[in-house]
Structure formats: structure tokens, C-alpha cells
């Protein structure tokens, strides 16, 4: 698995997890979804993402995610 596909996986899991928690536990969990969206926008402009840094340290290769 590459860094790019791992980022898609992590973002998807966070969004799905927070939506499920909002439905079955407490609606306030939707803040996590909003924060993830804001972080994705921020990372697209700055290129800074803590998850990417962690995945690079784990030795995952970097390749185009789509192609």
C-alpha cells in the first residue's frame, strides 16, 4: 500500500467512524467529520499532514494514487 492510498483509507475511516458515532451515540461526533474536512482543505494548500509524516517514517512508498 502506498502513502497516497493510505491517506484515503485513514480519511475515509475517520469520516465513517464519526458519522456512525453521531448516529448511534451522540450528534456532537459530527465535529470530527468537520475537522477532518477542514484539515484536508488545509493540507491541500500547505502540503503539511501529520499522517503523511508518520506513514513516511513507517517506510511506505509514494506513488500516484490514480493512474
Structure confidence at residue 67 (pLDDT): 67
Q: How many domains are contained in the chain?
A: 1
Whether 15 is covered by a domain: the verdict is yes
Instruction: Let me know if residue 61 belongs to a domain.
Output: no
- What is the distance between the alpha carbons of residues 53 and 26, in angstroms, rounded to a whole number? 31
| 55 inside domain | no
The whole-model pTM stands at 0.84
Residue 5 and residue 28: Cα distance in Å, rounded? Answer: 28
For residue 28, being part of any structural domain is answered with yes
Taking the chain (67 residues) in consecutive chunks of 10 residues, what is each chunk's mean pLDDT?
A: 92 96 96 95 94 94 81
pLDDT for res 64: 82
pLDDT at 34: 96
Predicted confidence at residue 65, as pLDDT, reads: 72
Residue 20: which domain range? 3-47
Amino acid at each position: 500500500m502506498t502513502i497516497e492510498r493510505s491517506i484515503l483509507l485513514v480519511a475515509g475511516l475517520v469520516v465513517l467512524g464519526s458519522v456512525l458515532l453521531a448516529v448511534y451515540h451522540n450528534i456532537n461526533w459530527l465535529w470530527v467529520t468537520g475537522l477532518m474536512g477542514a484539515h484536508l482543505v488545509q493540507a491541500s494548500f500547505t502540503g503539511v499532514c501529520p499522517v503523511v509524516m508518520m506513514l513516511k517514517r513507517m517506510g511506505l512508498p509514494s506513488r500516484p494514487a490514480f493512474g
